[in-house]
């Protein structure tokens, strides 16, 4: 049994034979314990005050919905779970008991469509923020799944993306996005206007994925290519 250090709150890891741990995502629940045998994950316990112990079982709602490629996951202020169906090009919302509440999205290149959605965040206004990997953009919807706006585009310039992955929001509803192909974290305001790039120069990233904000205001990153979880100082800008 391996006990995960308490400072790695919400770390989600993947273990493969003959390799070291590859971090894939981070969240704001506390990962407490991992039991492994022959480098294969056997048991994962995540504690959160408002969620049931799932014990490694898919909720019945997910089974019935035929979610073909669950990727990112988060919760809204009511405790509902939002799951990105990567292969199904959709976002699915269901109760903690597995009851379907909503599903939106389809495959395509239009502003309201997805091509390989990866991660999802919900801000204080209950807006749903989704990274669209192959469309190199971030798309924002209201709680009912109505498309509000998109931002980004393929490239290396500030405000552009090369396959965005992780996403989170700060207390001002600024949007932080892990720009996987450009190995950086970009910050946008709540309308999608580019603000800045998180300073990662002292410990550069290589293929960042999951993002989260710590209670102390640090940006926590799953740095997949460097096989590490990294914490960065972050100073949010008020709107």
Nearest Cα neighbor of 119 from 212, 8, 20, 18 is 212
Q: Which residues 6+ apart lie within 8 Å of 215 measured at CB? A: none
Per CATH, the number for 70-233 is 2.120.10.30
Band of residue 17 on the pLDDT scale cut at 50, 70, 90: very low
Residue 188: strand pairing partners: 175, 194
In this prediction, residue 72 carries a pLDDT of: 93
Q: Which tens digits make up the pLDDT trace of 142-192? A: 999 999 999 999 999 999 999 999 999 999 999 999 999 999 999 999 999
Q: How far apart are the first and last CA of the chain?
A: 46
Instruction: Report which of residues 235 and 62 the model is more confident about.
Output: 235
- CA 32-211-54 angle, 5° bins: 40
Domain ranges within the chain, ordered by starting residue: 6-53, 70-233
Q: Which tens digits make up the pLDDT trace of 79-137? A: 999 999 999 999 999 888 788 899 999 999 999 999 999 999 999 999 999 999 999 99
Mean of per-residue pLDDT scores for the chain:
80
Tokens of 148: 């509000």
């Amino acid at each position: 049994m391996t006990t995960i250090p308490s400072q790695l709150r919400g770390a989600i890891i993947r273990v493969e034979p003959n390799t070291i741990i590859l971090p894939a995502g981070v969240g704001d629940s506390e990962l407490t314990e991992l039991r492994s045998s022959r480098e294969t994950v056997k048991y994962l316990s995540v504690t959160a005050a408002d969620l049931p112990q799932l014990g490694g079982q898919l909720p019945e709602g997910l089974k019935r919905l035929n979610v073909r490629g669950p990727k990112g996951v988060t919760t809204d202020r009511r405790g509902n779970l939002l799951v990105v169906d990567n292969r199904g090009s959709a976002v699915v919302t269901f109760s903690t008991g597995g009851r379907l509440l909503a599903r939106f999205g389809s495959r395509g290149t239009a502003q309201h469509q997805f091509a390989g959605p990866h991660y999802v965040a919900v801000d204080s206004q209950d807006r749903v923020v989704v990274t669209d990997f192959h469309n190199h953009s971030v798309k924002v919807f209201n709680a009912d799944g109505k498309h509000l706006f998109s931002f980004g585009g393929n490239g290396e310039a500030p405000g552009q993306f090369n396959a965005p992955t992780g996403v989170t929001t700060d207390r001002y509803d600024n949007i932080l996005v892990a720009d996987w192909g450009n190995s950086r974290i970009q910050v946008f305001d709540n309308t999608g206007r580019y603000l800045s790039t998180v300073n990662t120069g002292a410990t550069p990233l290589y293929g960042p994925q999951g993002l989260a904000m710590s209670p102390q205001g640090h940006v926590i990153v799953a740095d997949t290519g460097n096989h590490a979880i990294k914490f960065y100082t972050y100073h949010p800008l008020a709107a």
